[in-house]
Amino acid sequence: TKCVHLSPVSLSEVTATSRHYVDRLFDPDPQKVLQGVIDMKNAVIGNNKQKANLIVLGAVPRLLYLLQQGSSSSELRAECAVVLGSLAMGTENNIKSLVDCHIIPALLQGLLCPDLIFIEACLRCLRTVFISPVTPVQLLYTDPTVIPHLMSLLCRSQRTQEYITQIFSHCCKTPEHQTVLFNHGAIQNIAPLLISPSYKVRMQALKCFSVLAYENTQVSMTLVNVLVDEELLSQVFVRMMQRDQPIDMQLTAAKCLTYMCRAGAIRTDDSCIVLKTLPCLVRMCSKERLLEERVEGAETLAYLMEPDVELQRIASVTDHLVAMLADYFKYPSSVSAITDIKRLDHDLKHAHELRQAAFKLYASLGSNDEDIRKKITETENMMDRIVSGLSESSVKVRLAAVRCLHSLSRSVQQLRTSFHDHAVWKPLMKLLQNAPDEVLVMASSTLCNLLLEFSPSKEPILESGVIELLCSLTQSDSPALRVNGIWALMNMAFQADQKVKGEIVRALGTEQLFRLLSDPDSNVLMKTLGLLRNLLSTRPHIDQVMSSHGKQIMQAVTLILEGEHSIEVKEQTLCILANIADGNTAKELIMTNDDILQKIKYYMAHSNVKLQLAATFCISNLIWNEEDGSQERQDKLRELGFVDILHKLTQASDPNLCDRSDTATHTSLPLSFSFSLHKTDAHKHAHCVVGY
Amino acid sequence: VTGTHHPLTLHFKKSGLPKMAELGAGSLLLGDPAFNYQEHELNERLKRLYPAVNEDETPLPRSWSPKDKYSYIGLSQNNLRVHYKGHGKNHKDAASVRATHPIPAACGIYYFEVKIVSKGLDFLSSLLPLSPILGWDKHSYGYHGDDGHSFCSSGTGQPYGPTFTTGDVIGCCVNLINNTCFYTKNGISLGVAFTDLPPNLYPTVGLQTPGEIVDANFGQQPFVFDIEDYMSEWRAKIHGMIARFPIGERLGEWQAVLQNMVSTYLVHHGYCATATAFARATETLIQEDQTSIKNRQRIQKLVLAGRVGEAIEATQHLYPGLLEHNPNLLFMLKCRQFVEMVNGTDSEVRCFSVRSPKSQDSYPGSPSLSPRHGATNPNLHSAGADSPTCSNGVTPPNKNKSHNKYPGISSASSSSSSSPSSVNYSESNSTDSTKSQPHSGTSNQEETSDSEMEIEAEHYTNGVAENPSARIMNGTYKHQEILQAQDISLEDSCASRQLCGGNQAATERMIQFGRELQGLNEQLCREYGKNVTHKKMLQDAFSLLAYSDPWNCPVGQQLDPMQRENICSALNSAILESQNLPKQPPLMLALGQATECVQLMARVRSGSCSFARVDNFLH
């Protein structure tokens, strides 16, 4: 019976000739069926309408039936696979229909047949189906026997090599896929293909390695030791990057080496990275390259040098890269708009991609070195470009622009000058109102830096009502956003006036503040403690905050000191206590709390010098003899046995600690001097963490 | 040519030269093996990097010039190390030195490096790695180490690259194709520094601080920057440009020209059957008539077989008066005949031999008798130009110097499997259906077509055939008397070689012939005056007799069958000329013209010539 596959396309569109082709597939005479398939093959080549018609008329299930039938001649089966391959070459809808008809398992089954011509036809069709974005790649991995069988077919012919490697490189999308391919010997099987006489095979094998090595340490570590014809794989890649090789090959080889380097398999100072991969990627950014190549080149280069300042320095002087990137913003060019519609279309399509790639590369270039940041901001219209990039319609561009801005915002000088001159805070604030999390993380991170004490943008940002926004960030589900929100508030509170501090406490609410103190993310906890510390600075502020929230704060401090926390967290908490001890009335909250005093005593005898130091600061502030009631406090502390500990500490090995305890035991005048220093130190500490 | 080699007038105090600089100035230190090794390395590297440069015309820079320098500059270490010995107080104390020669345009892409050995007491003040002839500081191009600026002609610098200091290697690359320049630092390209550079730039270095020392590398050592990779990109670019040269509507026209070129080439060398087949396939006409081609072919074949005496006879018979009008050619032929008598191949001595001497197969190691293209056209390649292509794609094992002088030519028919000579040879077979002769029963060939593969196979069978001579003689020629059946045998070339085939009578005939040759030389001297070439030729030929084994003696090379090709080609050209036909095939003319053009490009400073070499397109 006919198996007609009905679909939304109206049957009236289907021509009689198409029906005739399908009908012939049902002829009882196998010879006539074969001729029918061959005629169909000739009819569909390059004819998308005919392809759609045949699919609507149900040719696919019949072809698949013939292909799978053991009684079919091998010639017929091969021709069926060829026709299916041709149908797959059409539109995405064609692919969908083919996949819906379960073409993939049928063709994979066909690969078990010994006939090479049939295998090649099946692989060619599978290749076409798998490289389409509409095909779920998972279908390649459903049957666990498929991958090993494909590996075994690699030796059959150049065609099987080309198709199989192409399938692999398109279907390797996740670390799990990488592992499956790796475990089935992808590296050993594909490595020899890198020196195949066929360019297509070499190229597809190379692409395979680039997707296998991407962010995969296991693969990358294996790759560096692979020999191809007695030559190290990295050297094979280096040869493929030679300037007279096709651009596609140079670029893909550079990607392989980049991924191997990022995965830690090749050192960043290896000459194949410094003298070969990096310059090759810079060349890919040049005006002579196609727009697509320039995008890929810039993105790969950004990725390569992201963690390494030395590579950033080298790239920044290679072939005028910084100036070269400025050209990425000149699309569509004014010339193309007038003279050539086709080119304008092409330019427009790539304009966003080019801009985001350039922003990414600038971000990577400027992430560590102050001179490079200066060079970037001095590039023609750079700040204007970033500013307009922040409000572009494309999320990708906005994200890249804010990433670039963030990278540049790590520079004190830029914050003071170009950031202020171009009022970057305005679009940044706008960006924060309504953006995907990814953008929000970067934007809030940048905002943290703009809120640094010395940043001239701090004032206008405060006036724009940013506090509410930041407080809402601290309630986000994303730890990164919570950190950035509280971090920005911490920076804002640093040396702020009472009004701002009051506003922060009001807007955040004590409940939220204490919720953050028990946040599972230690970064959030650290920054919240930092905020508390900044709120509790200068005596009147300390007393004011402690009078209203003293009880909760003391509770929270006790909890943290008792809990399982890192040294850094405990140190920060002890610093808060030291600040409280510096208040006039706030002191009493400690002096009357024996539990806290015992804890301070405990930390003074702790094995970690940092904690000892912080606890000693606290005691010093309590016994400072210029203030009222210092004598009583000293007496009480003596009773509690602090003096013995202080004496012991004067013999301590750490000069800093020794000095501190020495002055504390004598409680003489110079002590106050060292205390004021300490306080500044502590604040500095809070603010220094900022910025990265 | 352009007056660019005048030395600069500088304040130059000879007494100020340090001892070392004077030492290194000449070609001293020759005894130093390390130096010789370095010199060898340098030559090898320069030859590889700049193959198109003719150093006789335009020498490459190899060191700093002790003549063209300021007195504050000291040179040492074979004039490669520069140190500063002035006061270094202000800009007036800056001093520079330039290389011995300007950069030749034929380099295409030129590169050198300088290593900063010591930045001096203060800081490295400047480095001016390029300066043209016109001025020293004016019109110079440079990259300064202290501020990273680039300087062009005048004093104001432009921000260009990073600063550099002790331990850094700074390179300078001049692209003579697009007249730009870029610098490198520690192997990294810093990007284009200058465009529209003038020609004839000198590598230059300038110093300003006491204690500054820099070392130059003009190719003495491997470069830090991969310049060959950069060159490969430009080579690919230029080859692509040539390959994609637009010919527009003239496609048909081009095809006709190409066909004509192939056809005339085949005709010229007498590949009669191939030429006929080609003409048939391409529907073109052959100018010369068949008989004429065949006559020439036969004479050539005789010469190439070493049977020069017969060739002379045939020429005199077919082209009366030709040799009489070309006494030089006749003398050359006779000299060769003498050599062939020593060899035992000429018929005058062979007839004495019990064992037939060798003929065709006496071409050891080279199955092909392809003519030595262009040997008569001295314009094709300048002296010393080395083109290692062998005409047939087969490198004979006994390849020697003279083979290297082959212009790099290979015609369509000159792959080893279809060498022209084998075509030539079998053509006579197949056209005369010798295979149907009973004598050829030894041959296993069953086909009668003249397909190349079959021909080749047959050619090789000759060496082992029991009595293959019959195939050659059977009525192939109109002038039967030229080739005597009994004269030809195809002995294995490995058979022991003896003077005149080891025959006493033959030796006597040879000596008698030598006397006649001597007589001819004297006669020519009387008529035309002394001829050095003739004298040399005669001396060389006679020298063969001074050795017990002429094949393994200093002048034994003359006996190499390859040596026949020159004279064969000369004779062929003379015949063609006498028939009012071009003495050179158009293909060779075109090739010669292309080669000349590329050389001309070098002279007019078009750098792309270095990547557009004719050799690159001949395989």
pLDDT digits (tens, 9 = 90+) for A129-180: 999 999 999 999 999 999 999 999 999 999 999 999 999 999 999 999 999 9
Contact B158, B194 (CB under 8 A): no
Q: Which residue of A has its CA nearest to B240?
A: A244
Containing domain of residue A627, as a range? 544-670
Under the banding of pLDDT at 50, 70 and 90, the label for residue B616 is confident
Q: Is the per-residue pLDDT at A69 higher than 80? A: yes
Final residue of a structural domain among A72, A103, A135: A135
Q: What residues of chain A lie within 8 A of the CB of B188, using their CB?
A: 274-275, 278-279, 314, 317-318
**Higher-confidence position of A157 and A545:** A157
Identify whether A582 is part of a domain.
yes
Identify whether B52 is part of a domain.
yes
Final residue of a structural domain among B242, B274, B305: B242
Q: What residues of chain A lie within 8 A of the CB of B236, using their CB?
A: 243-244
Q: How many CB atoms lie within 10 A of CB A550?
A: 18
**Count of pairs with CB atoms under 8 A, one residue in A, one in B:** 40
Q: Which residue of A has its CA nearest to B237?
A: A244
Check the CA dihedral A488-A493-A494-A495 and report its sign.
Answer: positive
pLDDT average, residue stretch B301-329 = 89
**Higher-confidence position of B424 and A254:** A254
Please choose, from the candidates B510, B499, B516, B506, the residue with its C-alpha nearest in 3D space to the C-alpha of residue B556: B499
Identify whether B340 is part of a domain.
yes
Contact B413, B271 (CB under 8 A): yes
Final residue of a structural domain among B242, B271, B300: B242
Q: How many CB atoms lie within 10 A of CB A11?
A: 12
Q: Are residues B235 and B108 in the same domain?
A: yes
Per-residue pLDDT of A594-612, as tens digits, reads 888 888 888 888 888 888 8
Q: What residues of chain B lie within 8 A of the CB of A276, using their CB?
A: 226
Identify whether B347 is part of a domain.
yes
pLDDT average, residue stretch B226-250 = 90
Contact between chains at A318 and B235 (C-beta distance less than 8 A): no
Contact A383, A422 (CB under 8 A): yes
Least confident of A212-221, A254-263, A504-513, A666-675: A666-675
- Average per-residue pLDDT in chain A? 86
pLDDT average, residue stretch A229-236 = 94
Q: Are residues B231 and B339 in the same domain?
A: no
Final residue of a structural domain among B197, B212, B242: B242
Containing domain of residue B178, as a range? 9-15+33-242
Q: How many CB atoms lie within 10 A of CB B325?
A: 11
Identify whether A488 is part of a domain.
no
Q: What residues of chain A lie within 8 A of the CB of B233, using their CB?
A: 243-244
Contact between chains at A320 and B230 (C-beta distance less than 8 A): no
- Dihedral class, residue B148 (left if φ above 0, else alpha if ψ from -120 to 50, else beta): left
Reported as type and span, the H/E element at residue B289 is none
Under the banding of pLDDT at 50, 70 and 90, the label for residue A13 is low
**pTM assigned to the model:** 0.73
Final residue of a structural domain among A87, A103, A135: A135
Mutate to test the interface with A, among B149, B189, B224 (most CBs of A within 10 A): B189
Candidates B162, B189, B236; nearest CB to A279: B189
Q: What is the spatial distance between Cα A540 and Cα A660, in angstroms, rounded to a whole number?
A: 25
Per-residue pLDDT of B75-103, as tens digits, reads 999 899 998 887 766 666 778 888 999 99
Q: Which residue of B has its CA nearest to A238?
A: B229
Per-residue pLDDT of A554-606, as tens digits, reads 888 888 888 888 888 888 888 888 888 888 788 888 888 888 888 888 888 88
Domain harbouring B125, CATH code: 2.60.120.920
Q: What residues of chain A lie within 8 A of the CB of B232, using their CB?
A: 242-244
pLDDT of the residue at B471: 37
Show Cβ contacts of residue B575 under 8 Å, excluding neighbours closer than 6 positions: B296, B299, B315, B319, B322
Identify whether B440 is part of a domain.
no
Domain harbouring A46, CATH code: 1.25.10.10
Q: What is the spatial distance between Cα B535 and Cα A210, in angstroms, rounded to a whole number?
A: 71
Q: Which residue of B has its CA nearest to A239?
A: B229
- Number of domains observed in the structure of chain A: 2
Q: What is the spatial distance between Cα A217 and Cα A265, in angstroms, rounded to a whole number?
A: 7
3-class SS at A228? strand
Q: What is the spatial distance between Cα A671 and Cα A667, in angstroms, rounded to a whole number?
A: 6
- Number of domains observed in the structure of chain B: 2
Contact between chains at A275 and B190 (C-beta distance less than 8 A): no
Identify whether B180 is part of a domain.
yes
pLDDT average, residue stretch A237-245 = 96
| A343–chain B nearest CA distance, Å | 23
pLDDT average, residue stretch B112-139 = 62
Candidates A242, A271, A317; nearest CB to B232: A242
Least confident of B4-8, B187-191, B556-560, B574-578: B4-8
Please choose, from the candidates A424, A413, A465, the residue with its C-alpha nearest in 3D space to the C-alpha of residue A447: A424
Residues comprising chain A, all counted: 692
Q: Are residues B224 and B118 in the same domain?
A: yes
Half-sphere exposure of A118 (CA within 13 A, CB side): 22
Contact B411, B421 (CB under 8 A): no
Identify whether A395 is part of a domain.
no
Q: Are residues B96 and B194 in the same domain?
A: yes
Contact A40, A80 (CB under 8 A): no
Contact between chains at A243 and B236 (C-beta distance less than 8 A): yes
**Higher-confidence position of B408 and B497:** B497
Q: What is the spatial distance between Cα A164 and Cα A158, in angstroms, rounded to a whole number?
A: 10
Identify whether B310 is part of a domain.
no
Candidates A243, A271, A318; nearest CB to B233: A243
pLDDT average, residue stretch A20-47 = 91
Contact between chains at B187 and A275 (C-beta distance less than 8 A): yes
Identify whether B409 is part of a domain.
no
Contact between chains at B162 and A317 (C-beta distance less than 8 A): yes
Q: Are residues B184 and B85 in the same domain?
A: yes
What ipTM score was computed for the predicted complex, to two decimals? 0.79
- Maximum C-alpha span of chain A: 115
pLDDT average, residue stretch B195-200 = 85
Mutate to test the interface with B, among A239, A240, A242, A244 (most CBs of B within 10 A): A244
Under the banding of pLDDT at 50, 70 and 90, the label for residue B423 is very low
Identify whether A465 is part of a domain.
no
Per-residue pLDDT of B471-497, as tens digits, reads 333 333 333 334 443 344 434 444 457
3-class SS at B111? strand
Q: Are residues B206 and B343 in the same domain?
A: no
Identify whether A559 is part of a domain.
yes
pLDDT of the residue at B560: 86
- In degrees and rounded to multiples of 5, residue A576 shows phi and psi of -60, -45
Q: Is the per-residue pLDDT at A343 higher than 80? A: no
Q: Are residues B346 and B226 in the same domain?
A: no
